[in-house]
Amino acid sequence: MGNWDAFIKDKSDWFTPTNVPNFAGRSSYRFMPDDHPPIPRIQESERNGFSLENILTRIYGTANPEFQNPPQDFDVTGNIVLPKLFGWLEDDISHVEGVRELSQLLNIELSGCSLLQLIHIGFNLYDYHYTPAVSRPRLGWNRSMFQSLTQQLVRQDICYYAAYVAIRPDHAWRLIAFPYYTKSAYPGEDTKFIHIDLALATGRGANAVQGSLSFTDEDGETCSVVLPGIHKHLARWWEIISTSPESQVLGNTVAVYPWIWDERCRQEFKTDFERSICMTGDVRLTLPCVPHGSVGPATTLRRTVMPWFGAVQDDHERLETAEAGVWSSISDAHRDLRLCTKDSVREHM
């Protein structure tokens, strides 16, 4: 008690997937535990004026800038799209010092140039040099793009950070981005998947908001899908799932199979999967308890990055989930512009 991370490290053989009979019975990961380690939070956020509406007013000038779903609905749905939070990436920067030299270096016409245009050049370079393993097809991902200039830029954006802190249920403010790869899906690629992060959804890191920033215009055939509102009914949903003879599912990330979400669930919970369409510069933020995924195959080019901010605990080392590693290994990866490997995580634990 009181030192969960040290305990599971000492008893690691207790928690391997082969020892877990089914995900509905993971007694180690119950629903929204009350014994989370302390994390720096903005106390009494509403009284101090720190709310999602106030943050959006400061960013946009209004708390409701043509939202698909208003911010006041976020607590109900667990998903929100912030329109054009990165709209400034499309601004003309051709007058900025150095752009002409860059145009000559790349032998590309950059008149009327924007950062977005340069970002797509960067994606093209990474895609050209990426060769996926034969046993692991692309599926719309570029698994070699971790520390690009684009990703470094996004991770440092103060408006994105403020919105992230405001949307987190615990308003934790000491965050670090986990170096994660990008989506760069081309028309025809198989991109369809729907899953739920079981470790997060059942308590561990339940405040770790997930999301993405889009660099292309999406449509109903090439976009994210979410299951809004199910985070309000997790215990009952797991109860239904656990009675199924097919509930032998292992691992932390669980695909949402038809038997996990069927007509019975749709009728009982009065919700169903819906598309969360983002335009260029839009940001999607989703609670980890909300199943999410992507439709497919892709019908148009889709490019996104996922900053993956996680909270750092009071010892300035452990993160909100032990599986994500520790601050020192992740900060080393950012400093050295490299991957945060499992070995580097272990050596710091």
Per-residue confidence at 286, pLDDT binned at 50, 70, 90?
A: very high
Say whether pLDDT at 325 is over 50: yes
Give the mean model confidence (pLDDT) for residues 57-73: 77
Say whether pLDDT at 335 is over 80: yes
45-92+138-311 — its CATH code? Answer: 2.60.120.330
Give the mean model confidence (pLDDT) for residues 288-297: 88
pLDDT of residue 225: 94
Per-residue confidence at 349, pLDDT binned at 50, 70, 90?
A: very low
DSSP state of 40: -
What is d(CA 17, CA 13) in angstroms, rounded to the nearest whole number? 9
Least confident of 61-65, 85-89, 113-117, 118-122: 61-65
Query: pLDDT of 170-198, one tens digit each?
Result: 889 999 999 999 999 999 999 988 877 65
Give the mean model confidence (pLDDT) for residues 231-238: 83
pLDDT of residue 22: 41
pLDDT of residue 108: 76
pLDDT of residue 237: 83
Buried b (16+ CB within 10 A) or exposed e, 301-319: bbbbbbbbbbbbbeeeebb
Per-residue confidence at 32, pLDDT binned at 50, 70, 90?
A: very low
> pTM of the full predicted structure?
0.82
Structure tokens given for 217: 């215009």
Query: pLDDT of 136-145, one tens digit each?
Result: 888 899 999 9
Say whether pLDDT at 239 is over 70: yes
Q: Do you find a cis peptide bond into 297, omega within 30 degrees of 0? A: yes
pLDDT of residue 175: 94
Say whether pLDDT at 268 is over 90: yes
What is d(CA 116, CA 285) in angstroms, rounded to the nearest whole number? 21
pLDDT of residue 19: 40
Say whether pLDDT at 271 is over 70: yes
Domain ranges of the chain: 45-92+138-311
Structural contact between residues 291 and 234, judged by C-beta atoms closer than 8 angstroms? no
Say whether pLDDT at 21 is over 60: no
| Beta strands per DSSP E along the chain | 79-82, 141-142, 175-177, 182-185, 193-197, 210-214, 224-226, 253-255, 274-276, 283-286, 292-294, 302-305, 309-311
